[in-house]
Amino acid sequence: MTSVAVLGTGLMGLPMGRNLARAGMRVRAWNRTRDKALPLEADGAVVAHSPVEAVEGADVILTMLSDGDAVREAVTAAAPGLRDGQVWAQMSTVGVPAAEHLASLAAEHGLTYVDAPVQGTRQPAEQGKLVILASGPASAREVLEPVFGALGQRTLWLGDAGAGTRLKMATVSYGISLTAVVAEALSLARGLGLDPDLVRQVITGGPMDNAYFQAKSAAILSGDFTPSFTVRNAEKDTRLIREAGEGVGVRLDVVAAAGERFRRAVAQGHGDEDMAATYFASFDEA
């Protein structure tokens, strides 16, 4: 039976930890705000009081935290409980430079580092249907197979550690930019005195239609901004994406503009809502 330490039980980490426990793995979870991890006890997980307690004896350490600094702090705090050879699956979206720094941190502690960010939001995490962008040593694959199998519908192994984060920058750029495009189209219709649902009616069933458009337009039209991925996290990712592009001389004008929209939405008070709330950034009022 695989033993997994889950560090971070937020919007994504909580359902991921639940799926691991329900798959029969021994799960010890830690979250900075402990109450957010307590629901996992109903599925048989142990909620640890510290990162050290979570990682002691674990076969796999899984991190799903807000950014690279939060990951580094958690793993550094866990250091007294780490042992050589433990597999660390780093599944947060942290950006290219941070992924490299975390690989160095893993080497300092003798950990086998697998860079494995996920493509998907809260609903795929709940359903165990994430796409896992894994990169790291082949020696880690056997121990991670049941873990990734419980979390995702498929795993892409991409070579040396770091390739997963580089691919995540490209794929999350698509999702973030598309969200902004949908929001702008609906907001323009409203501004022109039309029912924004007319945009949905025109696109539905045509060559521009897709499931993502339907999901985000439905959120906007219904006013239901229950977060699958928050405005605040999307804004953070736009900065990571731009940083990745700048590092290789690639200009990313669309994602830069999306970042400006997300920052306006945060300033309007929508930071913890679903990123479809970038819709409000088109208007002066919140």
For the segment 125-183, what is each residue's pLDDT rounded down to a tens digit?
999 999 999 999 999 999 999 999 999 999 999 999 999 999 999 999 999 999 999 99
Mean pLDDT, residues 96-114: 98
The pLDDT value given to residue 286:
58
Q: How confident is the model at residue 1 (pLDDT cuts 50, 70, 90)?
A: confident
Q: How many Å apart are CA 116 and CA 174, to the nearest integer?
A: 18
Q: What is the mean pLDDT of residues 265-283?
A: 98
The Cα–Cα gap between 34 and 273 comes to 22
The per-residue pLDDT for 255 is 98
Report the predicted TM-score, pTM, of the whole model to 2 decimal places: 0.95
| Distance in angstroms between the alpha carbons of the first and the last residue of the chain | 50
State the average pLDDT over residues 66-75.
97
Give the containing element (helix H, strand E) for 130: strand 130-134
Kindly state the average pLDDT of the residues 247-251.
Answer: 97
pLDDT band at 21 (very low <50, low <70, confident <90, very high): very high
- Give how far the C-alpha of residue 36 lies from the chain's centroid of Cα atoms, to the nearest Å: 17
DSSP H or E run through 87: strand 87-90
Percent of the chain with pLDDT over 70: 100
Residue 222 has pLDDT above 80, yes or no: yes
